[in-house]
Amino acid sequence: MRYDNININREKSLIRSDDLDKIAIDDIEHKSKVRIGFSEFSINLYNNTKNKILKELNASEEDWNNYKWQLKNRISSVDEISNYIDLTREEYENIKNVSEEYRFAITPYYFSLTDFDNPNCPIKLQSFPDIRELEDGGQLDPMNEEQSNPSGRITRRYPNKLIINVTNACPMYCRHCQRRRLIGKFDKNTSREDINESIEFIKNNKTLREVLITGGDALLLSNNHLERIFNELSQISHVEVIRIGTRVLATLPFRIDDELASLLGKYKVQLSTQFNHASEITLEAVQAIDLLVDHGVLVRNQMVLLHNVNDDMYCIQKTNEELQKYRVIPYYLFHPKDVKGIGHFQVDIDKGLEIMKHLEGRTSGMCKPTYVYNSPGGLGKVPLVPLQNIEPVENGYKFTTWENRIFTKNFDD
């Protein structure tokens, strides 16, 4: 089709297009250095360790793909780690000492994604106990969840939504977990009485329209147990949205099968997950995402900004672009909370803002999460946007674009 009435300046357009190409080529070059789950390198790492584990445990491919087998065979002691890698005496002692304070457990699946030769492997940093966890600083409950619990196992911080914590169990105990105080020494689901009391509170409170079922990892509950909760919530007329918080897509993708995806689809449950690095987005993870999305389940990602794991603009860009490619909506980028034992994951807010500035214009708005800081004391999330984007000036505003070009808009324009 020709636009005969429109005065296209093809020459200027091509110059601009060439300039944009230069930026895109530079981005592609940087992003190619970010490890992704689908690379040959990642697949080889995975298969090598997976085969070693299957041999050691005398298990089959069918066992591997069975989430119950994965849970039963979690790697949860330093001796089990040393079955697969050579630890120095110091590394052995460090893992042992930390795990006495904060237990650990890693599914064989997630463990097999580790690049053991890279001290800053994002998989290893998120799953292996680290001696820096014993450093001073941080708080056990920076969000004051213990004082936002009006009934049962509810956490309420907002006017029209709340959380029910249904378990303390997770397939893997992430080293950066904000709720590590609840992990304790044993896995324990919330009692039937506490769930009933929580649902009763929601029933009696018509202001509540959204319920997030989380933990721990809510998808460690059995399908029957989940269905009972979904069913009761769906009968409350003022509850419009049921959400579930889970990290199984990254840590135990085999948990998602047809039966569970149908159950979530049936109750129109929306799912929030946590991928923090592109190397977690594997073939197995994408098969699980496909099952969910094909059953009509909305999947959003809540990433945590973590030092050495993903505090790099190209890593964040690549990870969110991978998520978009596989139909997961990048939703939040959480600034790390001031939790005891995770000081080594802390990042300056300036760094987070710099990453957000980079994403503007460099990638689609669909690949851009909202960067948020959680206020202490459970006062809620504060969205963080680069400071220089908008500034009040006399009679208007000054705007700065993603390329740092400046324009102003006056109130009377």
Which residues contact ligand SF4 (rule: CB under 6 A)? 170, 173-174, 177, 179, 215-217, 247
Minimum separation from the CB atom of position 200 to ligand SF4 (A): 25
In angstroms, give the least distance from the CB of 304 to ligand SF4. 8
Report the nearest approach of ligand SF4 to the CB of residue 405 (Å).
39
Q: How far is the CB of 106 from ligand SF4 (least distance, A)?
A: 11
In angstroms, give the least distance from the CB of 176 to ligand SF4. 7
- For residue 372, the cross-strand partners are 334, 383
Q: Please, which residue, 25 or 140, has the CB nearer to ligand SF4? A: 140
Q: Which conformational region is residue 138 in: left (phi greater than 0), alpha (psi within -120 to 50 degrees), or beta?
A: left
Burial 344-380 (b: 16+ CB within 10 A, else e): bbbbeeeebbebbbbbbebbeeebbbebbebeeebee
Residue 189 per-residue DSSP state: B
Extended beta strands in 78-159, E state: 154-155
- Nearest residue (CB) to ligand SF4, 247 versus 362: 247
Residue with tokens 């500034």: 391
Q: CB within 8 A of 192, min separation 6: which ones?
A: none
Q: Nearer to ligand SF4 by C-beta: 279 or 363?
A: 279
First to last CA, the chain: 35
Closest approach, Cβ 163 to ligand SF4, in A, equals: 12
Q: Which residues pair with 297 in a beta bridge?
A: none
Kindly tell me the sign of the dihedral angle through the C-alpha atoms of 175, 178, 179, 184. positive
DSSP three-state, residue 339: strand
Nearest approach in angstroms of CB 258 to ligand SF4 is: 23
Nearest distance from C-beta of residue 102 to ligand SF4, angstroms? 10
Of 121 and 174, nearer to ligand SF4 (C-beta) is 174
Pick 170 or 269: Cβ nearer ligand SF4: 170
Count of other CB atoms within 10 angstroms of residue 231: 11
- For the sheet with 161-165, list strands across it: 154-155, 161-165, 210-214, 241-245, 270-273, 299-304, 329-334, 370-374, 381-383
Q: Which is nearer to ligand SF4, 173 or 332 (CB)?
A: 173
Q: Which is nearer to ligand SF4, 170 or 359 (CB)?
A: 170
Nearer to ligand SF4, 182 or 323 (CB): 182
Beta-carbon neighbour count of residue 222 at 10 Å? 11
Instruction: Tell me how long the chain is.
Output: 413
